[in-house]
Structure 1
Amino acid sequence: MHFGASAAVVMQLSERITEPNHALFFDNYFSSYHIFQYLASKSIFAVGTIRTNRFGCPKLPSDKNLKKKGRGASAECISKDAIVITKWYDNKPVIMGSNFVGIGEKDFCKRWDKKENKYIQIPRPESVRRYNSSMGGVDKHDFLLSIYRSYVRSRKWTITHYTCGRSGISKCLARI
Structure 2
Amino acid sequence: MLYDFDVYQGGTGKHTELGQGADVVLKLTSTLQFGATYNIYADNLFSGVPLLLKLKERGMLYVGTIRKNRLPNCNLEDEASLKKRGRGAYDYRVEDDHNIVAVVWYDNKAVTLLSSYVGIDPVGQARRWERKTKQHADVVMPAIIAEYNAFMGGIDKLDSFLAKYRFRMKSRRWYM
Task: Give TM-score scaled by structure 2 length.
Answer: 0.76
Q: Between Structure 1 and Structure 2, whose CA radius of gyration is higher? A: 1
Local SS of the residue matching 1:72 = coil
> Distance between the aligned counterparts of 1:61 and 1:103, measured in 2?
15
How does 1:1-176 map onto structure 2 within 5 Å?
2-18=17-33, 19-56=35-72, 58-79=74-95, 80-139=97-156
> Distance between the aligned counterparts of 1:125 and 1:91, measured in 2?
15
Shift of 1:112: 0.5
> Distance between the aligned counterparts of 1:141 and 1:94, measured in 2?
23
> Distance between the aligned counterparts of 1:93 and 1:140, measured in 2?
24
Q: Structure 1 74/142 Cα, relative in aligned 2: closer, same or farther at 3 Å? A: farther
Higher relative strand content: 1
Count of matched residue pairs: 155
Local SS of the residue matching 1:60 = coil
Local SS of the residue matching 1:103 = coil
Q: Percent identity?
A: 34
Q: Structure 1 103/114 Cα, relative in aligned 2: closer, same or farther at 3 Å? A: same
> Distance between the aligned counterparts of 1:71 and 1:92, measured in 2?
9
> Distance between the aligned counterparts of 2:110 and 2:160, measured in 1?
18
Q: Deviations over 1:3-23 (max 9, x none)?
A: 111101111122222143210
> Distance between the aligned counterparts of 1:72 and 1:92, measured in 2?
10
> Distance between the aligned counterparts of 2:39 and 2:108, measured in 1?
27
- Gaps of at least 5 residues in structure 2 are 1-15, 163-174
Contact 1:75 1:103 survives alignment (8 Å): no
The AA in structure 1 aligned to 2:49 is Y
Local SS of the residue matching 1:86 = strand
> Distance between the aligned counterparts of 1:61 and 1:24, measured in 2?
26
Contact 1:107 1:124 survives alignment (8 Å): yes
Shift of 1:143: 8.5
Local SS of the residue matching 2:119 = coil
